[in-house]
Amino acid sequence: MKFTELKLDERVLEAISFMGFEKATPIQEQAIPIVLEGGDLIACAQTGTGKTAAFVLPLIHKLIDKEEANVDALIIVPTRELAVQIEQQIQGLAYFAPVSSIAIYGGGDGVDFQQQKRALTKGTNIVVATPGKLLSHLNLGYVKVQNLKHLILDEADRMLDMGFIEDLSSIINYLPKDRQTLMFSATMPPSIRKLAKDILTDPKEVSLAISKPAAGVDQKVYLSFDEQKVGILAHLLKNRPDYDSVIVFTSTKSKVTEIVSALKKQGFKARGISSMLVQAEREEVLRMFRARRIRVLVATDVMSRGIDIKDLNMVVNYDVPNDAEDYVHRIGRTARVDAKGEAVTFISPKEMGKFARIESLIEMSIEKLAPPEELGKGPEWRANSSGGGGNRGRGGQGDGKRNFKSKSNQNRNRGNGRPNRGPSGEKKD
Ligand code: AMP
């Protein structure tokens, strides 16, 4: 569906077009009309589906011509990374609209607190906040929430997992009852249903099924300490001499360099691909990989989406991907119609919670293996590890497809008390 069919303000449509969004995603198609109508909504959708824009776009549309900025909309999220990421997306989508926003989260210094206090006292259209820090401000009595019209709980299941339920109820007690409430959650356990019953009025429901890994992919995980990961990778490659096309995904470009040099030392033909290479170099590396002149390609998470190579023998997630859609998308590259592909994920103790979450989303339990004996004992599996990963989004890199910094945002974002950024953060990895 085209965005123009969704009856959004022209200034919102202009920003959408600058962001490079061509058509609405399914969650946007379903949720935007409900939010525009003013009804309550409960939506089951994961990161990666475009769910942020599904509530941000109609919010901006509604607030665009408001004379006075109060705290008109409050978006509560579980982590500071998500708060920053959503607020960046608001800045991009409100680039041509006089709608102000601020991210409120803990961990800063006294200067940050004063800046947040100023923005909350003066009034800012959209506040994106983590529960604890927001509550500290609310308890001090100066936050202008008396005219609040929209409350959004994002990643509600995760907020409950993180023990924020009491903070959430205290926050909600401060808010006017006459408001629109939207709740987004990746899963719908009974605790979320109960919360929805308590705080939503006659909500419409939208649910998006997550894609599932293809049946032909043989998935396994190795429970390993960080220092064992290179050894396991070398072991896998040695034991699969017929594999001539393997991709390894890792989280940072410095790790790409580390892994490539460790593999080369052991005689494997490996090359890395990250933002450290200029475009022409990236293309050359990909060409060589496709021609099977490089056996192992090591890439950053950010590169992973841009690399369109299928028919691999094996995909290795050197680190656990940030969300289930990424996991499914990556391992799908190995599944050929006529053959089996292999997908291996290395899980360190701090990544166990994150992987357990992926398992629950794809509704599969993946076989957990210990490292080969010569590498020593690996960690024990703990599904409820706290290392669920703060940010299940795109690593807080901003969301825009283009980077257009030519226009000052200064007058467009009122009252957020700090320098404005461009509408889209440049992708980094
Ligand atoms: P989210 O699920 O909100 O974390 O969004 C995932 C990514 O999709 C973000 O990088 C967004 O900028 C991007 N995105 C959101 N809506 C669209 C769209 N309609 N078309 C293309 N990309 C989009």
d(CA 407, CA 419): 13
Q: Quick one: 201 and 275 in the same domain?
A: no
For residues 3 and 25, give the distance between their C-alpha atoms in angstroms, rounded to a whole number.
10
Question: How many other C-beta atoms lie within 10 A of the C-beta of residue 385?
Answer: 18
pLDDT the model gives residue 395: 30
Check residue 389 and give its pLDDT: 38
Q: Quote the ligand 1 centre to 1 CA distance (angstroms).
A: 15
392 within domain boundaries: yes
CA nearest ligand 1 atom 21, residue: 21
Taking the C-alpha atoms of residue 388 and residue 353, their distance in angstroms, rounded to an integer, is 4
How many residues are there in the chain?
A: 429
What is the pTM assigned to this prediction? Answer: 0.62
399 C-alpha to center of ligand 1: Å?
7
Residue nearest to atom 13 of ligand 1 (CA): 50
Strand, coil or helix: 233: helix
**Pairwise CA distance, residues 174 & 146, whole Å:** 8
CA contacts within 13 A on the Cβ side of 84: 17
Q: Are residues 54 and 139 in the same domain?
A: yes
Pocket test of ligand 1: the residue of 154, 394, 401 to mutate, having most ligand atoms within 8 Å of its CB, is 394
Q: Residue 299 burial (CB < 10 Å; 0-12/13-18/19+)?
A: buried
Along the chain (429 residues), what's the average pLDDT of each consecutive run of 10 residues? 92 93 90 96 84 96 89 94 91 95 86 89 94 96 94 93 93 96 88 92 86 80 97 97 94 94 97 86 90 94 68 92 78 66 94 89 89 94 58 30 29 35 33
In a domain, 389, yes or no: yes
Best residue among 8, 12, 25 to mutate for probing ligand 1, ranked by most atoms within 8 Å of CB: 25
Please give the single-letter amino acid code of residue 339. Answer: A
- Cα 24 to Cα 8: distance, rounded to the nearest angstrom: 12
Q: How many CA atoms lie within 13 A of 195 on its CB side?
A: 29
Please compute Rg for the chain using Cα positions: 23
Q: Which residues contact 191 (CB under 8 A, 6 or more apart)?
A: 157, 160
Give me the pLDDT at residue 36, please. Answer: 97
Query: Ligand 1 atom closest to Cα of 393?
Result: 4
Select from 399, 401, 402 the residue to mutate for testing ligand 1; criterion: most ligand atoms less than 8 Å from CB: 399
What CATH number is associated with residue 189?
A: 3.40.50.300
Looking at ligand 1, which atom is closest to the CA of residue 25? 19
194: how many CB neighbours lie within 10 A of its CB? 12
Are 45 and 186 spatial neighbours (Cβ–Cβ below 8 Å)? yes
The SS3 of residue 189 is coil
Task: Tell me how far apart the alpha carbons of residues 423 and 34 are, in angstroms, rounded to a whole number.
Answer: 26
Is the same domain home to 84 and 172? yes
Produce one character per residue of 60-78: b if its CB has 16 or more CB atoms within 10 Å, e if not: bbbbbeeeebbbbbbbbbb
Contacts 24+ apart (CB under 8 A), 274-282: 274/299, 274/300, 274/302, 274/303, 274/429, 275/300, 275/302, 275/303, 275/427, 275/428, 275/429
One domain, residues 174 and 256:
no
- 320 located within any domain: yes
Output the CA 42–ligand 1 centroid distance in Å.
Answer: 19
Ligand 1 site: residues with CB under 6 angstroms? 21, 24-25, 28, 47-53, 393-394, 399
The set of residues, in sequence order, having a beta carbon less than 8 Å from that of 267 and lying 6+ positions away, is none
352: phi > 0 → left, psi -120 to 50 → alpha, else beta; which? alpha
Q: Domain ends where: 180, 207, 234? A: 207
pLDDT at 210: 64
Judge if 222 and 335 occupy the same domain.
yes
413, 101 contact by CB (below 8 A): yes
The reported pLDDT for the residue numbered 412 is: 37
Counting the structural domains of the chain, the total is: 2
* Final residue belonging to a domain, choices 179, 207, 235: 207
Of 207, 237, 272, which residue sits at a domain end? Answer: 207
- Sign of the dihedral through C-alpha 51, 187, 209, 428: positive
Centre of ligand 1 from the C-alpha of residue 222, in Å: 31
168 and 295, same domain (yes or no)? no
**DSSP helix, strand, coil percent of the chain (3-state; round to 5):** 40, 15, 45
- For residue 226, the number of C-alpha atoms closer than 13 Å in the C-beta half-sphere is 6
What's the 135 CA to ligand 1 centre distance in angstroms?
29
Q: Residues 132, 173: one domain? A: yes
Note the pLDDT of residue 95: 94
pLDDT of residue 366: 93
Whether residue 225 sits in one domain with residue 190? no
d(C-alpha 414, C-alpha 42), whole Å = 30
The rounded Å distance from CA 47 to ligand 1 centre is 9
Contact 396, 81 (CB under 8 A): yes
Where is 344: in which H helix or E strand? strand 341-347
pLDDT at position 275, please? 79
Q: How far is CA 355 from CA 81, 185, 229, 245, in A?
A: 19, 17, 16, 25
Domain co-membership, 158 together with 277: no
Supply the range of the domain harboring residue 279: 217-413
